Structures are given as C-alpha cells and as structure tokens.
A and B are shown apart, each in its own frame.
Chain A
C-alpha cells in the first residue's frame, strides 16, 4: 500500500489567492474551506484511492505574481487553478487557454467565460453577475404580481467594471419589462455615498439593488438611515457577509436582502460534517470563527464542485486524472448541489456556468430566510449578452 501511495500522483488544485491585499475580505474563509474539504475527502479515502491536495499561495492581487504562481505550480503538475481575483484571473486566462489547463473562476473574472464554445478551458461555475442581476429582477417582479410597468428600480454600484457589468442587462430588462431604471454610481472604495443617497431620497425608487463590497454596505446602511429609506428596499449582490451584518448591526439590518448561490447560515450538512469530524478533533485548517461566515459556505461550494468533478473524472476515465479527463468530469455534473449546500448546477460543454441559479435571502435579525426558490431567469436575455461579449474575444 505504501508503495503505491508513493508512486501515485495526487490530484492537486492550485489555489493562487490574494491573501494579503484587496480580496482579504473573503480569501481566508474560502481557502480555509478549500483545505477543509480536501482534508475531509482524504479522511474518507481520497479520490480514486489517492489523496487530494490543495496548494495555497499568496499573489497579493498582483497579475505578475499570479502568473508566477500559475507557471510554478504548472511545472509541479497542477492543471486546475483558482484565483478568486479578477485582475489575476484575467492575467492567467490567455495562458490557461494556450496551455490547456483548467481555470476555475467562480464569482470573479470575465462573465462571458461561461460560453464554453469560446472559453474552452475556463469554468466560472456559479452565477455570472448578469445572471444574478436577472434573478434579482425576477424576484422584484414576483413581489409586484408579475407587473413591473410602474416600478422604479434604483441601481447603486461601484463605478468600475465590477459594478458597471450588469448595467447592460438592467437596461435590456427595463425595456422588456417596462420598469424605470435609475443609476447611482459610487466612486471606489465606496466610503462617500452621500450624494447618491440624497438623490435616491428625491427619486424614491421602490427597490435598490446594490453592487458593492464590504465596508461600502455599512456606509450605505448609514446613509439609508439618514435619508429614511427603509432597509427592506436594499438587495445586495452576493458579496455581503456576517461581518458586514455585524458592522451594520444585526437589529438595524433586519429586512436587508441579498442574492446568493449558496445557502447562508451554519446548519449546512457539509459544514456540520466538517465541524464534527475536523474542528471538534482539533484538525480544522484555521480558526472556527471563519467557518461561521457565508464566504466559508461559498468556498465549500466551490471546492465541492472542484473535487466532485475530479471524482467523476476518475470514475469515467480512471486514474491518473488529466486536464482532458477532468474537463469531462466537470461537464458531467448534473443537478449537483453538494448535499443541499448550493443552487443545483449542470455544467455542459456549452454552458460552463452551470445554469446560473441564485436565490434571494432576507436577514430577519438573526438568520437568513430564503425568499425564492433557486431561480435562473431571463436565460435568453442573459445569453444574448454573453454571446455578444464572448464573440469579441480573440478577434
């Protein structure tokens, strides 16, 4: 047994993350989840009888160091990468496409990469910001008895690509559904939003969709209180976690909503299993408090998918897993929800995003309450934008 283990090449994932600069609001939780999932799998006998490994490295959100991480790990036989950083993901993408290595980029990077016919090696499994926005609008439509004709929707966003991306889809849907769209750009890092919110008070939109991160949510909540805008109008992008809720104040945040592709809260089966088998035994990969955060659940979802695909690759094509067989494994995922952890995903050769389902959850003062089922709305509209954008790649 020892001999075969020594010869075996374990399945490795290159986790090149920004653990020291801009993305530290989420990377510690996500990387900890990655290591915990790997530990759990290894306790249960690994994949194809061999242990799996996650290699976590810091790139400080610098494209140059991300490329270095990618090249270095590639030489060590890694062919599945995750960056959780848009600039680094963009920098690695041309190389991964050229070298035929898998680039996972859930929730970051260019959204049009869900188009598998163009981006053969890139897998943004999970919702794109376009899909997530379409689902938010679907939710609002549901609130107004399927009629948006005299509804005003405000959109407050960071005025750079992350926040600008969904505007196109909003405009298309506004024409299609007849709602009035009001745009409120906010300069980075979102600490000054007073102008946007006092304008919002005059315009008085029925709902406010927010594409901001971290501390900017807290600033927004203060401005909302100042301008007497009720909290239940606020629908956040998936980047809003327990730390933000604590900073806003659990009481004050009541009624606030967010779109998400993972189940929030701590009663998730996979998390409970990890707490039980790892943390209770003192074997956890980091502090327990990191696991009480929705980004930990996000990480569990991302890495459950990554390892499930490896398991399927081993079942389909046997060991050792190669980039090609791994690709087949990913594309065989059908209605996979990691035991009730996230929106079910179905990855195909055309749709690398897995269907883009999300749901809306509301904070009730103590916990997150789902407001919808897992939905993927306006598929045609979203895919039109995707194809229009992806067709420009490599021109």
Chain B
C-alpha cells in the first residue's frame, strides 16, 4: 500500500543497481529534499539555526566517519582532529585573501593529507591498536592547537572566521547559512548513496568483512583503507570548515576536542554502521536530544510548579538521554538505521502479507 511494488522488476544489471529500487523510496527522498528547501519559509529561525543547521553539518561529518568506520570497518577515534585541520586551514587560507570556495577545498585537502598520512602509519596495525593510534592523533592535534598561537589565533586560542562568501555573494542571513549547510549535506549524501553502487564501495565492504580474504580476491586492502581514510578526511575537513563558517563563526580547540571525536563515533554507532539514513537519525539523537529533553524537563517542571533544584534539573535530561541510548541499542543493536529498515520492511507489502496468514 505504502510501497507500490506492482510493475517494479529488474531485468538488467543497470536497472538492478539503481539508487532507489522502489519508486516510493525515491519519492520520499524527493519529498524530504523539497521540505529541506522550503524549511526557511516554514520554520522559525530559532529552530532553523540552532537545531537544523548543526544537525545537517554534523550529519555530513558523521557520514564521512561512516565511510571509514561503517564501510571500511576501521575504528577512528580522532575524527574531530581531522575536522579541526580542515577548519583551521580553511580559515587561515581565507584570511590570506583566497576566496572561500577554494579555501574550503584546500581545507578538505589539508585534512585529507594529514588524515591519510596518519593512516599510512596507523594502518600497519589493526583493530583496537588502530583505534588507539587514531586517538593519539587526536591528542597530537590538541597539543599542536593549544601550543601554537599562530595557528589557534592567540588570546584564549580563538580564531575569528571571516564572513562566508560563495560565488561572489556574501552570506550573512540565517537562510543563507542554512542553504550552505543543506547543500553540503545533500552533496555528501548523494556521494554516499552512490558509493554503495561502485566498485570502490564493494571493495571497502570486502576489506571490512575480512581484509586478507579481500586480498585473495585481488583487492589491495591497504590501498583501499588509505583511500577510505583520505575520502572521509576530506569530508571531515570541509564539514569542520563549514561548521565554523556557518555556525560557530570562531574556531576554538574545545570545539574539536577528544570528546567531540567520541560524540561523532557515537552518532555513527547509534545511527547504524554503514547506514546513511541511520547517520541522520544518530546525529539527531546525540546532538539534539539532550537539548530537547532539557527543554521538555524544564517546561514540565514549570508547568507542574515543582520546586526542583537547578542542578537536579540539569541532570535528569542526562539520565533520560543515557537511558534512551541504552534502550535503543538493546532493541536494535544495529542502530536507528536498522530500526527504520525494520519498519520499512514490515510496511513493504502491508497489508497484503496479512492475507496469507
């Protein structure tokens, strides 16, 4: 009923490797994209710029991490450090007088170079050892940022980002920032959707499942791992730069510290490894739910006229949020993306599958 399958059959490889095999999925994606485009006219600016904008940029970043962790199966604990490389190099490039378009690409490339250089050394080890090595990269980057005023911008290590300008157009409005974020997120999503259908994507999955088995099949696992690190670092770098350009307006080391790395990893794991829609859900849960639950708890206690200590009030949302993550991962260990998949599978032929029973 919801997913019309009548007339949907694939008789060639080309047709079978379409991005959306069921028209309903494609329609849903188009519908969501239209809502995304119309959002500045529908939503108040508070929600647009305090919730939706960071959500989109973090989703793009999480998708990048999903590429290396979800697709290529390499645990990465220094993702925020790579974002920092992108952010700082882009801002410094713009401050030198280079236009933003080029600066964003330079930021991405710088992140890519540093990220894959590190991977080059780190990939000599596997699994947990690799995770620890990437963690080391995070600490090295933290140290570099807090100890070099020329990079971090001097006083209290904060670096002002110049006004964002794209295609000769200064961007200063809420809607403008939002469209930049939306554009980048859509671009990354399309890249990731296509990745599944390419030889590169299949090679990455082969490496993830068993790297020496992949090697026997003729897939150079080291090469593909480096490629995954490079591509994901590029996405991280541009996302980091855009995060500062459209949301923070100022770069500081705390914005890219180790707990941020853990947070992005949590977004990917809660969302579902290797799931694109899951990354959207995961980011929403990790990034937005604490604030939303906080607002709800505050409103509830005011409505009910409860005299709750502000400190207690601040800790209730954390408990609720923690419980939510545990419950979700207990119900579906493969994450929110799989949860969505389950619902979709159930509705795929509903209600006609009920007739057989």
Q: Does B344 contact A (CB under 8 A)?
A: no
In chain B, residues 281-316, which have Cβ atoms closer than 8 Å to a Cβ of chain A? 287, 290-291, 294-295, 298, 309-311, 313-315
A-B CB proximity, top 4 nearest: A19-B314, A58-B314, A94-B249, A87-B254
Interface residue? A109 (CB, 8 A): yes
> Given A58-B314, A161-B253, A395-B95, list of 8 further CB < 8 A pairs?
A20-B314, A35-B310, A58-B310, A58-B313, A63-B248, A64-B287, A64-B291, A87-B252
Q: How far is the CA of A96 from the CA of B131 in the complex (A)?
A: 39
- Could you pull out 28 A-B pairs where Cβ atoms are within 8 angstroms? A19-B310, A19-B314, A20-B318, A28-B310, A32-B310, A57-B294, A58-B317, A64-B287, A67-B50, A67-B247, A67-B248, A68-B51, A68-B291, A71-B49, A72-B46, A90-B254, A91-B248, A91-B250, A91-B255, A94-B160, A109-B156, A111-B155, A111-B156, A161-B253, A286-B309, A287-B309, A392-B153, A393-B160
A389 on the B face (CB < 8 A): yes
Q: How far is the CB of B285 from chain A (nearest CB, A)?
A: 14
Minimal Cβ-Cβ distance residue in B for A91: B248
Docked complex: A238-279 residues within 8 A CB-CB of B: none
Does residue B176 face the partner (Cβ distance < 8 Å to A)? no
Instruction: State whether the Cβ of B151 lies closer than 8 Å to any Cβ in chain A.
Output: no
Q: Decide: B310 and A161 in contact? CB cutoff 8 A.
A: no
Chain A nearest CB, measured from B155 CB (Å):
4
Q: Mark B45-82, 1 if CB is under 8 A from A, else 0.
A: 01001110010000000000000000000000000000
Docked-complex contact A90 and B158, CB < 8 angstroms: yes
Q: Which residues of A contact B (CB under 8 A)?
A: 19-20, 24, 27-28, 31-32, 35, 56-58, 60, 62-65, 67-68, 71-72, 75, 86-87, 90-91, 93-95, 109-112, 159-161, 164-165, 286-287, 389-390, 392-395
B154 interface residue (CB < 8 Å to A)? yes
CB within 8 A of A64: which of B54, B250, B317, B318?
A: B54
Distance of A87 Cα from B254 Cα, bound (Å): 6
**Taking CB as reference atom, which chain A residue is nearest B315?**
A20
Q: Which of A20, A87, A392 contacts B255 (CB 8 A)?
A: A87
Scan B246-263; emit 1 where CB is below 8 A from any A CB, else 0: 011110111100000000
Closest A-chain residue to B255, C-beta based? A63
Q: Which B residues touch A111, using CB under 8 A?
A: 155-156
Q: Is the CB of A71 within 8 A of B46?
A: yes
Q: Which residues of B contact A60 (CB under 8 A)?
A: 290, 314, 318
- Which residues, 329 to 355 on B, are CB-close (under 8 Å) to A? none
Set B51, B156, B247, B294: member contacting A110, Cβ < 8 A: B156
Q: Which residue of chain A has its CB nearest to the CB of B152? A: A161
User: Is there an interface contact between B311 and A28, defined as CB atoms closer than 8 Å?
Assistant: yes
Interchain pairs with CB closer than 8 A, number: 104
Binding site for A on B (CB under 8 A): 46, 49-51, 54, 95, 146-147, 153-158, 160, 247-250, 252-255, 287, 290-291, 294-295, 298, 309-311, 313-315, 317-318
Alpha-carbon distance between A112 and B156 when the two chains are bound, in angstroms = 9
State the Cβ distance, A62 to closest chain B Cβ, in Å: 8
Known contacts: A20-B315, A87-B254. The answer to whether A72 contacts B50 by CB under 8 A is yes
> Within the assembled complex, what's the spacing in Å between the Cα atoms of A63 and B248?
8
Q: Which of B147, B290, B298 contacts A65 (CB 8 A)?
A: B290
Complex CA gap A93/B46 in Å reads 17
A65 touches B310 (CB 8 A): no
Minimum distance in angstroms from B221 CB to a CB of chain A: 36
Q: Is the CB of A110 within 8 A of B158?
A: yes
Chain B positions within 8 Å of A75 at CB level: 46
Query: Could you tell me if A110 and B310 are in contact, using CB atoms closer than 8 angstroms?
Result: no
Residue from B50, B155, B248, B309 in contact with A392 in the complex, judged by beta carbons closer than 8 Å: B155
**A90 and B156 within 8 A (CB):** yes
Kindly list chain B residues whose C-beta atoms are within 8 Å of the C-beta of A27.
311
**A395 vs B315: C-alpha distance when bound (angstroms):** 40
Docked Cα-Cα span, A160 to B146, in Å, equals: 6
Which of the residues B95, B250, B317 comes within 8 Å of A90, measured between beta carbons? B250
Query: Cβ of A95 and Cβ of B54 under 8 Å apart?
Result: no
Q: How far is the CB of A93 from chain B (nearest CB, A)?
A: 7
Q: Is the CB of B154 within 8 A of A392?
A: yes
- Shortest A353–chain B CB gap in Å is 14
Which residues does chain B contribute within 8 Å of A19, judged by CB atoms? 310-311, 313-315
- Could you say which residues of chain B place their CB within 8 Å of the CB of A164? 146-147
- Taking a contact as CB atoms under 8 Å apart, the answer to whether B157 and A161 are in contact is yes
Q: CB within 8 A of A93: which of B250, B253, B294, B313?
A: B250
Chain B residues with CB below 8 A from A72, complex form: 46, 50, 295
By a CB distance below 8 angstroms, the chain B residues around A86 are 156, 254
CB distance from B55 to the nearest CB of A (A): 10
Q: In whole angstroms, how far apart are the Cα atoms of A369 and B82 in the complex?
A: 50
Chain B contacts for A109, CB-based, 8 A: 156
A395 to B160, CA, bound (A): 8
Q: How far, in whole Å, are A90 and B250 apart by their CA atoms in the complex?
A: 8
- B95→A159 contact, CB < 8 A: no
CB-CB under 8 A from B158, the residues of chain A are 90, 110
CB closest chain-A residue, reference B294: A58
- B130 shortest CB reach to chain A, Å: 24
Q: Give, as a whole number of angstroms, the nearest-CB distance from A349 to chain B.
A: 21
B248 touches A165 (CB 8 A): no
Which chain A positions have C-beta within 8 A of B154? 389, 392
Question: Which chain B positions have C-beta within 8 A of A32?
Answer: 310
A34 to B355, CA, bound (A): 65
A72 to B250, CA, bound (A): 20
If A64-B54, A392-B153, A393-B160 touch, whether A56 touches B310 (CB-CB below 8 Å) is yes
CB-defined contacts of A90 to chain B, threshold 8 Å: 156, 158, 250, 252, 254
Q: Provide the bound-state CA to CA distance between A361 and B90, in Å.
A: 47
**Residues of chain B with a CB closer than 8 A to A110's CB:** 155-156, 158
CB distance from A161 to the nearest CB of B (A): 4
Which residues does chain A contribute within 8 Å of B156, judged by CB atoms?
86, 90, 109-111, 161, 165
Contact call B50/A68, Cβ cutoff below 8 A: yes
The smallest beta-carbon distance between A182 and chain B, in angstroms, is 18
B263 to chain A: closest CB distance in Å? 9
B160 contact from A24, A57, A65, A394, Cβ within 8 A: A394
Give the residues in chain A near B249, CB-CB below 8 Å: 94-95
| B-side contacts of A87, CB under 8 Å | 252, 254-255
Partner of A112, one of B50, B155, B248: B155
A70 CB, min distance to chain B CBs, angstroms: 9
